Chains A and B, each alone.
Chain A
Amino acid sequence: MISFEKAGLSYGEKPVLRNVTLRVQPGEHAALLGPSGCGKSSLLNLAAGLLRPTEGTVTVNARRAAYAFQEARLLPWRTAAENVNAVLDDSAATMLQALAWLEAVGLADAADKLPAELSGGMRQRVNLARALAYDGDLLLLDEPLKELDPSRLDSILSLLRTHAAGKTLLLAIHDIGQARALADSLYVFRDMTFVPQK
């Protein structure tokens, strides 16, 4: 479960989030909706433990969390397959598993390519493959469908739905249709906080 209790976040003097109270139950899929730069990524970073709230509390009860960042954050000196394998055992034994995940996102042919040789959409798919391969019971996805080729959208959406079944999912997204396709509950940004969408 993820629980934000009156959580707030400021970068220096500048407040980003205020009084966020939000609970995501185990197995629930929640989507954060709002314009770019409103604080969706900051909320995910709070859930991932990369940021600490400046007010209130954030509690996360998860065995392990996988996080598909908005910027792919791939190791530039490792191939696509090695990037996925890095979150597994980083050994030859787990490489087949990494390759299977790349195949699942339609990147079997790009497995031995470096991130610099991939397009933005392909990097994003490696980022997703890495998050899915990690097999966390909590899945944090920040704009997971950004930069994706429209022809790939349906297959990636279906993959995410299948893989996220039974797991807790918190995702930041700006397309309400995609949010509805992936999440059971929606939270919309309003006045520096996220409120449930009826």
Chain B
Amino acid sequence: MDRRRDLIKNILAVAFWLGVWALFAALLDRALLLPGPWAVAKRLAVLARTGEFWRITLMSLWRILLGAALGILAGAVLAAGTCRSSVLEALLSPLLTVIRATPVASFILLVLIWVGRDILPCVIVFLMVLPSVWDNVSAGIRSTDRQLLEMARVYAFPPWRTVRRVFAPSVGPHFLSACQTCLGLAWKSGVAAEVLTVPLRSIGRELYESKLYLETVDLFAWTAVVVLCSLALEKLLSVGIRRLGRRPMLGGTGQ
């Protein structure tokens, strides 16, 4: 019952803001400055009927997800390494601090000197995701109950059993929350990188060209694609997290 009420509340809130948008568009009455939601929806429907639209969207998704996956993997491995070795931590900490402090636009321009424009969004996403995952997974490893680790040591757990039965349930929630945060970050920084580097078949290129040729309806339609993809990914991830959370390995009871 509560879920149904929440759903109705959410639909009403979205309808309210769409109404505000439609009202402003009608008052302004200049589609070049602010097209109405109906015009954007119609344009989106036209775009979605073309194969090129799906190729562009999938290419952007591929680049961003690949960068995010590599960033998550590298962040987790680095966290495990730096929690184990203080020398490695001392060595890598300044590098991670620099990555964290550097603005994404500087990264885009710098990395563009070294790699091609097609790979660049992937590299940028990787650099944005890595420190966040590293921080979260390190916090998870450090918060693992020392007493349970001692128990595992006394009972001579093999390394894999210690990871699976002691570390994974402690680190799991930190890791999954990092993935959730990173996905939004990855999507935004990835599209920003595409806008600045305009790789072939990319949402960023479509956004850039829409702005260049003053096709405001297209600009809104592609922005809607970005928002919809982000929401879809977020939803997929939260469903995945719920399922994983029920597995004993990640702290669930397996029931």
A residues with a Cβ closer than 8 A to B are 48-50, 64-67, 69, 71, 73, 75-79, 82, 86-87, 90, 114, 130, 134
Interface residues of B in 145-168 (CB under 8 A from A): 147-148, 150-151, 153-157, 161, 165-166
A73 to B248, CA, bound (A): 17
Q: Does B157 contact A86, Cβ atoms closer than 8 Å?
A: yes
Query: B248 — which chain A residues lie within 8 A by C-beta?
Result: 77-78, 82
Task: Tell me the minimal C-beta distance from A188 to chain B in angstroms.
Answer: 26
In the complex, the chain A residue whose C-beta lies closest to that of B166 is: A75
Q: What is the predominant secondary structure among interface residues of chain A facing chain B?
A: loop
Query: B154 — which chain A residues lie within 8 A by C-beta?
Result: 48-50, 65-67
* B102 at the A interface (CB under 8 A): no
Query: B151 — which chain A residues lie within 8 A by C-beta?
Result: 67, 69, 73
Task: Tell me the minimal C-beta distance from B214 to chain A in angstroms.
Answer: 57
Task: Tell me the minimal C-beta distance from B167 to chain A in angstroms.
Answer: 11
* B252 at the A interface (CB under 8 A): yes
Q: Does B161 contact A90, Cβ atoms closer than 8 Å?
A: yes
* B169 at the A interface (CB under 8 A): yes
Candidate in A48, A66, A75 with the most chain B CB atoms within 10 angstroms: A75
Q: Does B147 contact A69, Cβ atoms closer than 8 Å?
A: yes
In the complex, the chain B residue whose C-beta lies closest to that of A64 is: B156
A120 to B248, CA, bound (A): 23
* B251 at the A interface (CB under 8 A): yes
Q: Does B253 contact A77, Cβ atoms closer than 8 Å?
A: yes
A90 to B148, CA, bound (A): 16
> With A50-B150, A86-B161 in contact, is A77–B169 under 8 Å at CB?
yes
Query: B252 — which chain A residues lie within 8 A by C-beta?
Result: 77
Q: Does B165 contact A86, Cβ atoms closer than 8 Å?
A: yes
Q: Does B155 contact A66, Cβ atoms closer than 8 Å?
A: yes
Q: Does A73 contact B156, Cβ atoms closer than 8 Å?
A: no
Task: Tell me the minimal C-beta distance from B122 to chain A in angstroms.
Answer: 36
Task: Tell me the minimal C-beta distance from A69 to chain B in angstroms.
Answer: 7
> With A50-B153, A78-B248, A86-B157 in contact, is A73–B147 under 8 Å at CB?
yes
A71 to B151, CA, bound (A): 11
A130 to B148, CA, bound (A): 14
Query: B153 — which chain A residues lie within 8 A by C-beta?
Result: 49-50
A82 to B253, CA, bound (A): 11
Query: B150 — which chain A residues lie within 8 A by C-beta?
Result: 50, 73
> Can you list 21 residue pairs at the A/B interface with Cβ under 8 Å?
A49-B153, A65-B154, A66-B154, A67-B154, A67-B155, A69-B147, A71-B147, A73-B150, A73-B151, A75-B166, A76-B169, A77-B169, A77-B251, A77-B253, A78-B165, A78-B248, A86-B155, A86-B161, A86-B165, A90-B161, A134-B155
Q: Which 4 A-B pairs have the closest CB atoms?
A: A87-B155, A73-B151, A77-B169, A67-B154
A76 to B155, CA, bound (A): 17
Known: A77-B252, A78-B248. 11 other contacts (CB 8 A): A66-B154, A66-B155, A67-B155, A69-B147, A71-B147, A73-B148, A75-B148, A86-B165, A87-B155, A90-B165, A130-B155
Query: A48 — which chain B residues lie within 8 A by C-beta?
Result: 154
Task: Tell me the minimal C-beta distance from A122 to chain B in angstroms.
Answer: 17
Query: A90 — which chain B residues lie within 8 A by C-beta?
Result: 161, 165
A82 to B148, CA, bound (A): 15
Q: Does A79 contact B165, Cβ atoms closer than 8 Å?
A: no
Task: Tell me the minimal C-beta distance from A55 to chain B in angstroms.
Answer: 22
Task: Tell me the minimal C-beta distance from B244 to chain A in angstroms.
Answer: 13
Task: Tell me the minimal C-beta distance from B41 to chain A in angstroms.
Answer: 46
Query: A67 — which chain B residues lie within 8 A by C-beta?
Result: 151, 154-155
